[in-house]
Amino acid sequence: KVTILFANLHAYLDNMKAPWELLKYRTEYYQVIIKATLKSIGVSLDKLKFVNGTDYELSEKYTLDIYKLSAMVSAHDAKKAGAEVVKQSEAPPLSGLLYPGLQALDEEYLDCDAQFGGVDQRKIFVFAEEYLPKLGYKKRSHLMNKMVGGLTGGKMSASDPNSKIDLLDNAKQVEKKLKKAFCEEGNIENNPILAFIKNVLIPINCLSTGKESFEITRPEKFGGNTLYESYDALEKAFAAKEIHPGDLKMSAANALNVLLEPIRKEFEDPARQELLKNAYPEPQ
């Protein structure tokens, strides 16, 4: 069984990334879009459990554990644990220092065997392994996946729309963003398009077909469509300049749009549109 935690209280504590009055709508929005995303790649929802952080994090017992943890942890260690996750500033609010403690305690209160996250979570995972036993709770296992960089060649950023693909971007927006993405001919070391194909598109294709293949689609006069049976074969061909960056980008856009189309259709429903508007209202 997999538990997906909607860490709504964490989001508020992290420099109020989600204003309190929007937490309800954003939590509901994330549940809908996560379910739609998983369905689009053929993942069964039967063994998934969705939990909101505020369902248990406001309880007396949890609150007491936060106080106990706060008495053990130095401000230095709390800041260090959240350095790659919590928004950093010269004068950070106290709430950000509580964030790693909440994430650690969640393992106990969700009664999980392991926690899964990106490699940016590793310092919080180390924090949890150190401090949960000091509260009398068992140490959990931790699983991490690689973080995919932004389309512009740097870090993916919510403040830079061209650095990322939104799940509700339409087909033209996806093509436009990938067309703008950094993709130097023959460059396989710093190439966000290749990284996205390797870490997202090929693994998803493998889920449905059992094959680690990827197809380059292009006009016959430029070589026609070519199916690469592995990422290594694709990377080798790109390094040898047998694949033009424009063809790589368009092929990635085509594959991604196939995956995103069921999610877009889910949000054609007027009720879903209203939810999106409430979760992310237009700036005043």
Give 127's contacts (C-beta < 8 A, 6+ positions apart): 77, 81, 100, 104
The domain defined by 2-145 folds into Rossmann fold (3.40.50)
pLDDT at 223 (0 to 100): 85
pLDDT at 17 (0 to 100): 67
> What confidence tens digit (pLDDT) does each residue in 49-103 have?
999 999 999 999 999 999 999 999 999 999 999 988 888 777 778 888 999 999 9
The domain defined by 161-279 folds into Tyrosyl-Transfer RNA Synthetase (1.10.240)
The pairing of strands 226-228 and 141-145 is: unpaired
How far apart CA 157 and CA 149 sit, in angstroms, is 9
pLDDT at 255 (0 to 100): 96
Q: Residue 196 in contact with residue 188, Cβ under 8 Å?
A: no
Q: Which two tokens stand for residue 132?
A: 């949960």
How far apart CA 102 and CA 62 sit, in angstroms, is 9
Domain(s) labelled CATH 1.10.240.10 in the chain stretch across 161-279
Q: How far is CA 283 from CA 28, 158, 179, 215, 277, in A?
A: 20, 15, 28, 41, 11
How far apart CA 203 and CA 191 sit, in angstroms, is 18
Q: How many C-beta atoms surround the C-beta of residue 204 within 10 A? A: 18
In percent, how much of the chain has pLDDT > 70? Answer: 99
- pTM score, whole prediction: 0.86
Question: Which pLDDT band holds residue 256 (cuts at 50, 70, 90)?
Answer: very high
Domain(s) labelled CATH 3.40.50.620 in the chain stretch across 2-145
Chain CA centroid to CA 101, Å: 21
> What confidence tens digit (pLDDT) does each residue in 153-210 have?
877 777 788 889 999 999 999 999 999 999 999 999 989 999 999 999 999 999 888 9
Can you tell me the mean pLDDT for 140-161?
Answer: 84
